[in-house]
């Protein structure tokens, strides 16, 4: 089916463009990217360079080059291959392209391009600059062509490896020149990250050894080429440049000649092991042994296992299906599942925007899919938060608090790397002091929420004991140090907040923040009690180490009781987003937009157009429901959806999924599906602006990727965990015959199929425990336990 303009899918497992639009270079470089959680390689063509936004981003290479933005270093491009024919460079951007198509298959993350190029420049000169699908069938009188086919993948068999293979088919005689090697001319957002960049060769292998400027992280990019078909080269030369090293190979080909080669690129950094260059050499040798087909097989086996857990199959909605796979794919490759000390970047490894760092997105948007399907991955990401506790403690102390105030933008150490001046006032050119880094405190209770929720879904007490408890306690301590008590009102208040709606900084008693804080404190109290019951000595030593006294725990309990949380209005059911919100000007986002002087203006703090209005950047009150559905009636959710949705600008990619989820719960099923498409296609259809307030914010919106899974499983299928019972309250779109997916709940491995009036849950034989299942509003007690190797179908 056609997805957009020149973008199609055949099986729902891939996207394919059959011509290309130069305006989408940045966007499609992200959409077509490959990656494996260790590295991300942008969806660019082998012959492209910095101007075409070529980038390869390797985890754990944080570097601050411009004094402001700490971000991942942009690695030299170890998959560079360009081809010339009789001195003319073959380029999809050039005028001699006859046909062109490229595809990204989500199943195994395979990027493939096929392109034909006129070997007779005079004939091709009259052709259109960019090939159109109609031009792809060459007429009989067509000029002689060179056909290029290349494919690549970022290996899950060895996460340090990217492998490619190329085939050139010459339909006429000529001189074909291949440049293949490592190119340092790549895209970098904020400056030069390498203090040195040293090209070298060892035998047939090429190396680029770089050292980052700030922390002197060494990164080695290595490259080997193995020719598998074709004539001997007429000439061979090693070309070394300041920022590149290439093999130049000249072939005099006859008509009908094919040249084929495999290319391996291995990357290690000094954060991985002490001798990255040695590791590269070893891995390159392994590649030569295994060769491309076996490397591919090893890679696909891992992916098969991932999809076995992560799949969401929709029967009856091809668009939804391909979008879901696109999003799940990107959520997977963004996630450093191989380690427990690294975050999921808000843009994954698709570019340097948002600094390769975690926001609350990680816990609230990316993580639930993993919690419910691959809890080992979720566990590692949460341990990352444990390992960055010291950074959170430093941040709290620096700002006059104690406990753990997590970084709004968190890289490897957990220290705050969100610049104080994030956006620019494009009207004046002055920097804006955004308070993401000091007022948006909900990050800490959001992490507590994820910790507690992980425990509820997995029952992983060892995690709670070894990691979770300390995080919960320190977050509770931070909240104690941050809250104010209003003696005259006998309540605690959180003052000067920035809630999810980032256009309204500096607000009091933001309801979302208060609800999350109360939840976090309750979890801390629960775990404090449980730890006292199960491991009293551990609790004693832990609280002594953390300086937590009984009076603090008393304060946690008091706060749970007395935190001021705005409740639904008795008459309307609407919950005020923060104190005084309803006094703000009531205007629609569209009407408000007419006040823009410059389309690039930031709408928020301190003087953006949305500040004095009720226009929200994103879901804020409705975000509460997605995390605490059980606490609110459908009527209240509906009242708030109806109030807030028309006042929401969706200036954040986090917003549509929330409204979509709530829409599915309150019976707005068609709207919910529209929101599913809107949220899931934010990148594929390029609907979000990539620059705001002068700051580049493009790349893959990984939170929306994680949200796609949630919209279907939590939203349409209505999954909730009640104690140890799974409840489904499905509202499928009419066109959907069924949805099926996998869940892992406290050791029960479940294949679920939700149809229009039934839910079938099958517990795999490998399940380690039973689980209760109910549908609709059936009381949880009435659901029997589904034991391993059993299946149940419930109708509603």
For CA atoms 327, 329, 330, 335, give the dihedral sign.
Answer: positive
Q: Which residue has the tokens 């999954």?
A: 719
- Whichever of 272 and 576 has its CB closer to a copy of itself, that residue is 576
Closest distance between a copy of itself and the C-beta of residue 487, in Å? 5
- Whichever of 485 and 796 has its CB closer to a copy of itself, that residue is 485
Return the range that interacts with a copy of itself (CB under 8 A); candidates 68-76, 298-306, 475-483, 750-758: 475-483
Distant-in-sequence, close-in-space partners of 232: CB < 8 Å, separation ≥ 6:
none
What does the alpha-carbon distance between residue 374 and residue 358 come to, in Å, rounded to a whole number? Answer: 19
Q: Which of 654, 652, 656 is nearest to 673 (CA)?
A: 656
Is 481 a binding residue for a copy of itself by CB under 8 A? The answer is yes
Closest distance between a copy of itself and the C-beta of residue 345, in Å? 29
User: With left for phi above 0 and alpha for psi between -120 and 50, is residue 550 left, alpha or beta?
Assistant: alpha
* Cis preceding-peptide flag for 300 (omega within 30 of 0): no
Is 397 a binding residue for a copy of itself by CB under 8 A? The answer is no
Q: Where are the alpha helices (H) located in 253-374, listed in sequence order?
A: 276-310, 318-334, 361, 367-373
Binding mask 737-776 for a copy of itself (x = CB under 8 A): ----------------------------------------
**Binders of a copy of itself: how many residues, by CB under 8 A?**
28
Is 491 a binding residue for a copy of itself by CB under 8 A? The answer is no
Is 13 a binding residue for a copy of itself by CB under 8 A? The answer is no
Binders of a copy of itself in range 400-419 (CB under 8 A): 400, 402
Q: Which residue has the tokens 């590295």?
A: 39
Instruction: Supply the DSSP symbol for 583.
Output: G
- Whichever of 495 and 792 has its CB closer to a copy of itself, that residue is 495
> What are 729's two structure tokens?
């309250």
Q: Which of 699, 737, 745, 696 is nearest to 720 (CA)?
A: 745
* β pairing state of 312-315 and 145-154: unpaired
Closest distance between a copy of itself and the C-beta of residue 483, in Å? 8
SS3 191: coil
Q: Which of 79, 223, 97 is nearest to 148 (CA)?
A: 97
Out of 363, 470, 502, 555, pick the active-site residue: 502
Burial of 387 (0-12, 13-18, 19+ CB in 10 A): middle
- Whichever of 41 and 605 has its CB closer to a copy of itself, that residue is 605
Is 487 a binding residue for a copy of itself by CB under 8 A? The answer is yes
Binders of a copy of itself in range 536-565 (CB under 8 A): 555
Q: Contacting a copy of itself (CB under 8 A), which of 301, 430, 534, 689?
A: 430
Q: Contacting a copy of itself (CB under 8 A), which of 214, 318, 425, 751?
A: 425
Closest distance between a copy of itself and the C-beta of residue 485, in Å? 4
Q: Is 151 a catalytic residue?
A: no
Q: Which of 109, 111, 157 is nearest to 290 (CA)?
A: 157
Closest distance between a copy of itself and the C-beta of residue 276, in Å? 40
> What are 706's two structure tokens?
């994680």
Return the range that interacts with a copy of itself (CB under 8 A); candidates 53-61, 272-280, 457-465, 491-499: 491-499
- Whichever of 565 and 611 has its CB closer to a copy of itself, that residue is 611
- Whichever of 103 and 555 has its CB closer to a copy of itself, that residue is 555
* β pairing state of 14-17 and 97-105: antiparallel
- Beta bridge mates, 262: 165, 226
Is 317 a binding residue for a copy of itself by CB under 8 A? The answer is no
Closest distance between a copy of itself and the C-beta of residue 617, in Å? 17
Return the range that interacts with a copy of itself (CB under 8 A); candidates 6-14, 28-36, 282-290, 480-488: 480-488
Is 478 a binding residue for a copy of itself by CB under 8 A? The answer is no
Binding mask 345-384 for a copy of itself (x = CB under 8 A): ----------------------------------------
What does the alpha-carbon distance between residue 91 and residue 94 come to, in Å, rounded to a whole number? Answer: 5
Binders of a copy of itself in range 495-534 (CB under 8 A): 495-496, 506
What does the alpha-carbon distance between residue 477 and residue 465 come to, in Å, rounded to a whole number? Answer: 18
Q: Which of 737, 734, 764 is nearest to 752 (CA)?
A: 764
Residue 145 CA, chain-centre distance (Å), reads: 40
Return the range that interacts with a copy of itself (CB under 8 A); candidates 60-68, 322-330, 420-428, 765-773: 420-428
Neighbours of 759 (CB within 10 A): 27
Q: Which of 150, 158, 160, 157 is nearest to 41 (CA)?
A: 160
Binding mask 593-632 for a copy of itself (x = CB under 8 A): ----x-------xxx---xx--------------------
What does the alpha-carbon distance between residue 596 and residue 608 come to, in Å, rounded to a whole number? Answer: 9
Residues acting as catalytic residues: 502
- Residues at the interface with a copy of itself (CB under 8 A): 400, 402, 425, 427-428, 430, 432-433, 480-481, 483-488, 493, 495-496, 506, 555, 579, 597, 605-607, 611-612
């Amino acid at each position: 089916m056609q997805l957009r303009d020149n973008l199609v899918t055949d099986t729902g497992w891939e996207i394919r463009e059959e011509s290309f639009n130069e305006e989408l270079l940045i966007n499609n470089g992200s959409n077509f990217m490959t990656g494996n959680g260790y590295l991300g390689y942008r969806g660019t063509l082998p012959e492209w360079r910095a101007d075409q936004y070529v980038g390869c981003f390797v985890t754990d290479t944080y570097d601050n080059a411009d004094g402001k933005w700490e971000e991942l270093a942009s690695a030299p491009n170890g998959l560079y291959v360009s081809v010339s024919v009789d001195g003319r460079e073959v380029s999809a951007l050039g005028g001699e392209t006859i046909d062109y198509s490229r595809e990204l298959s989500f199943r195994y993350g395979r990027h493939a391009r096929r392109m034909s190029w006129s070997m007779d420049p005079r004939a091709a000169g009259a052709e259109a600059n960019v090939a159109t699908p109609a031009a792809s069938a060459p007429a009989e009188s067509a000029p002689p062509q060179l056909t290029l086919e290349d494919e690549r993948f970022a290996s899950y068999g060895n996460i340090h490896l990217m492998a490619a293979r190329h085939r050139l088919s010459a339909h006429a005689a000529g001189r074909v020149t291949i440049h293949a090697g490592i190119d340092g001319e790549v895209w970098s957002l904020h400056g030069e990250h390498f203090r040195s960049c040293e090209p070298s060769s060892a035998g047939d292998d090429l190396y680029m050894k770089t050292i980052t400027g700030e922390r002197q992280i060494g990164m080695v990019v290595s490259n080997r080429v193995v020719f598998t078909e074709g004539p001997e080269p007429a000439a061979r030369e090693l070309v070394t440049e300041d920022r590149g090293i290439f093999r130049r190979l000249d072939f005099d080909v006859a008509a009908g000649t094919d040249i084929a080669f495999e290319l391996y690129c291995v990357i290690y950094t000094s954060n991985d092991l002490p001798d990255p260059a040695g590791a590269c050499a070893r891995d390159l040798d392994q590649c030569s042994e295994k060769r491309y087909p076996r490397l591919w097989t090893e890679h696909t086996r891992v992916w098969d296992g991932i999809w076995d857990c992560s799949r969401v199959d929709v029967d009856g909605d091809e668009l939804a299906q391909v979008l879901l796979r696109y999003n799940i794919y990107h959520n997977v490759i963004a996630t450093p599942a191989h380690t427990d000390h690294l975050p999921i970047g808000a843009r994954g490894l698709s570019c340097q925007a948002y600094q390769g760092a975690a926001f609350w997105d990680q816990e609230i948007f990316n993580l639930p899919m993993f919690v419910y399907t691959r809890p080992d991955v979720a566990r590692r990401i949460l341990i990352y938060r444990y390992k960055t506790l010291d950074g959170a403690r430093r941040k709290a102390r620096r700002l006059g608090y104690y406990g753990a105030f997590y970084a709004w933008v968190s890289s490897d150490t957990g220290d705050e790397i969100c610049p104080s001046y994030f956006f620019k006032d494009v009207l004046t050119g002055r920097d804006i002091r955004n308070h993401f880094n000091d007022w948006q405190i909900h990050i800490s209770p959001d992490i507590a929420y994820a910790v507690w929720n992980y425990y509820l879904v997995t029952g992983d007490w060892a995690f709670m004991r070894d990691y979770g408890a300390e995080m919960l306690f320190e977050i509770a301590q931070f909240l104690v140090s941050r809250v104010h008590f209003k003696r005259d009102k006998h309540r605690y208040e959180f003052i000067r907040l920035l809630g999810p709606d980032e256009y309204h900084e500096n607000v009091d008693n933001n309801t979302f923040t208060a609800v999350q804080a109360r939840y976090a404190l309750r979890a801390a109290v629960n775990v404090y009690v449980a730890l006292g019951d199960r491991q009293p000595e551990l609790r004693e030593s832990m609280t002594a180490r953390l300086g937590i006294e009984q009076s603090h725990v008393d304060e946690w309990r008091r706060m749970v009781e007395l935190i001021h949380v705005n409740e639904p209005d008795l008459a309307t059911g609407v919950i005020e987003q923060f104190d005084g919100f309803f006094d703000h000007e009531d205007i629609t986002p569209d009407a408000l937009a007419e006040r823009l002087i410059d389309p690039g203006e930031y709408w928020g703090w301190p003087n953006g157009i949305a500040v004095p209005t009720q226009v929200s950047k994103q879901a804020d009150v409705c975000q509460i429901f997605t995390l605490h559905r059980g606490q609110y009636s459908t009527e209240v959710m509906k009242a708030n959806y109806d109030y807030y949705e028309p006042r929401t600008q969706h200036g954040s990619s986090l917003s549509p999924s929330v409204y979509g989820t709530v829409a599915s719960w309150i019976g707005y099923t068609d709207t919910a599906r529209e929101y599913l498409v809107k949220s899931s296609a934010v990148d594929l259809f390029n609907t979000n602006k990539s620059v705001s307030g002068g700051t580049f914010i493009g790349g893959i919106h990984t939170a929306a990727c994680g949200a796609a899974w949630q919209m279907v499983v939590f939203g349409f299928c209505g999954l909730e965990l009640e104690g140890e019972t799974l409840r489904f309250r499905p509202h499928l779109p009419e066109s959907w015959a069924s949805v099926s997916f996998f869940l892992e709940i406290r050791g029960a491995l479940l294949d679920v199929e939700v149809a229009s009036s039934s839910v079938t849950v099958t517990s795999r034989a490998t399940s380690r425990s039973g689980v209760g299942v109910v549908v609709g509003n059936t009381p949880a007690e009435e659901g029997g336990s589904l034991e391993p190797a059993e299946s149940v179908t419930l109708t509603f």
